[in-house]
Amino acid sequence: MYKILSVNPGSTSTKFAVYEDETLVCLHTIRHSVQDLKPFKTLFDQYEFRKTLMLDYLKNDGIDLSDLSAVVGRGGMVRPLESGVYAVNDKLLSDLKASHSAEHASNLGGVIAFEIAENIPNCQAFIADPVVVDELQDVARVSGLPEIPRISMFHALNHKAIARKYAAATGMSYENLKLVIAHLGGGISVAAHSYGKVIDTNQGLDGYGPFSPERAGTIDAGRLVDMCFEGKYTQAQIKKMLVGNGGLMAHLGLSDVQKIELKIKAGDENADLILQAMAYNVGKEIGSMLAVLSGNVDAVILTGGIARSKFVVDYIKDMISAMAKVVVYPGEDEMEALAMSGLRVLRGEKSKVY
């Protein structure tokens, strides 16, 4: 029997779980308010806070970590790489610590995994399907400015896990399917999956695509440049407008779709318009990914926390159902996906070298 700890640090939460082989032993989501994280200047200043909280919870649960076989962290903004499970080595560790491609809480995942595993005999540290998994087709990389090519930055871990779950449920292999998958969480990524590869995606962190509960998505580049230089905002303030305070948060002061739905039910017309607009932009992005796949897809899959929202799901279905079958997998499978990735390697699959 293998015991595995999954660690998934997000911008507003730290999620972790312990599995014994395929069996879930415990799962926690600790939410971090803006106030909780305010004392920390940089992402890595949060390291001890998040790790200690997690270890305290596990201690309270009576979980013995001394017999862990693996710790698998969600990572991270490292160099673009192919989908798979990577052993945390010095180079990977150094790129995670340097936030090589961008600052994102998932950079903490691989580092926490490494530092827990190194103190336990025979325990290995991995990351799996990090957010920089890059399988883009060449044509999708070209933007209108050679200096700023399009990049692959999306919720690769959940996309791949849900794609495989759908494949298993339909008796197919992921490598034989064409899918459009929309991950609808605090951040939103919509991607075209062609026979096991993600050949195109929006940039779900601070780039192009639909706005999300806390991210601005595509905005008028010229007006953004003007805003950057008019002297009213610092660089950090503008970045915060794009990630953290953008999207639903900017319009409504809330990123919680459940609370926004309550406002709509109470007659708030502005909240109604803004939530429709988010769903509309997701629908448009799905439409463009359908075009990437020549309209010929097995399914469009909606997943993530917002796939629990009837309001959003119904809106997107109205836009898309005439073009493709729409399937809903509410929530995300990241914790299980991390643990099962580690388990596959412990059972003999080769991990990749970063």
Ligand X SMILES: Nc1ncnc2c1ncn2[C@@H]1O[C@H](COP(=O)(O)OP(=O)(O)O)[C@@H](O)[C@H]1O
**Where do contacts with ligand X occur on this chain (CB under 6 A)?**
10, 12-13, 185-187, 213, 255-258, 304-306, 308-309, 332
Interatomic CA distance for residues 245 and 232, integer angstroms: 17
> Which span (53-61, 149-157, 244-252, 322-330) binds ligand LANB7ZPL, by CB under 6 A?
149-157
Size of the site for ligand LANB7ZPL (CB under 6 A): 13
**Alpha-carbon separation of residue 218 from 166, 204, 227, 230, 242 (angstroms):** 29, 10, 15, 20, 10
Residue nearest to ligand LANB7ZPL (CB): 187
Helical spans, DSSP H, in 18-88 = 34-37, 47-60
x/- letters, 78..107, toward ligand LANB7ZPL (CB under 6 A): --------------------------x---
Residue 204 lies near ligand LANB7ZPL (rule: CB under 6 A):
yes
x/- letters, 11..40, toward ligand LANB7ZPL (CB under 6 A): x-----------------------------
b (16+ CB within 10 A) / e for 61-96: eeeebeebbbbbbbbbbbeebebbbbbbeeebbebb
Number of helices followed by number of strands (H, E) in the chain: 13, 11
**Alpha-carbon separation of residue 345 from 23, 154, 351 (angstroms):** 17, 24, 6
Would the CA dihedral through 98, 90, 56, 85 be positive or negative? positive
Sheet with 188-194, edge to edge strand ranges = 197-201, 188-194, 178-184, 299-304, 326-330
Task: State the minimum distance, in angstroms, from the CB of residue 205 to ligand LANB7ZPL.
Answer: 4
Residue 155 lies near ligand LANB7ZPL (rule: CB under 6 A):
yes
The smaller minimum CB distance to ligand X, of residues 6 and 309, is found at: 309
Residue 110 lies near ligand LANB7ZPL (rule: CB under 6 A):
no
The smaller minimum CB distance to ligand X, of residues 13 and 288, is found at: 13
* Of 17, 119, 14, the residue nearest 58 (C-alpha): 17
Beta-carbon count within 10 A of 9 CB: 29
The smaller minimum CB distance to ligand LANB7ZPL, of residues 208 and 233, is found at: 208
Q: Which of residues 174-193 bind ligand LANB7ZPL (CB under 6 A)?
A: 185-187, 189
Return the SS3 of 221. Answer: helix
Task: State the minimum distance, in angstroms, from the CB of residue 96 to ligand LANB7ZPL.
Answer: 14
Task: State the minimum distance, in angstroms, from the CB of residue 75 to ligand LANB7ZPL.
Answer: 11
Task: State the minimum distance, in angstroms, from the CB of residue 130 to ligand LANB7ZPL.
Answer: 9
Give the pair of three-digit tokens for residue 271. Answer: 């909240």
Residue 153 lies near ligand LANB7ZPL (rule: CB under 6 A):
yes
Interatomic CA distance for residues 105 and 85, integer angstroms: 19
Interatomic CA distance for residues 86 and 158, integer angstroms: 16
* Of 77, 66, 76, 72, the residue nearest 101 (C-alpha): 77
Strands 3-9 and 70-73, sheet pairing? parallel
Q: Which of residues 121-140 bind ligand LANB7ZPL (CB under 6 A)?
A: 131
**Alpha-carbon separation of residue 354 from 96, 253, 347 (angstroms):** 12, 40, 20
Q: Which of residues 272-311 bind ligand LANB7ZPL (CB under 6 A)?
A: none
The smaller minimum CB distance to ligand LANB7ZPL, of residues 298 and 332, is found at: 332
The smaller minimum CB distance to ligand X, of residues 76 and 213, is found at: 213
Task: State the minimum distance, in angstroms, from the CB of residue 219 to ligand X.
Answer: 20
The smaller minimum CB distance to ligand LANB7ZPL, of residues 306 and 324, is found at: 306
Task: State the minimum distance, in angstroms, from the CB of residue 303 to ligand LANB7ZPL.
Answer: 12
Task: List interacting residues with ligand LANB7ZPL (CB under 6 A).
Answer: 10-11, 104, 131, 153-155, 185-187, 189, 204-205
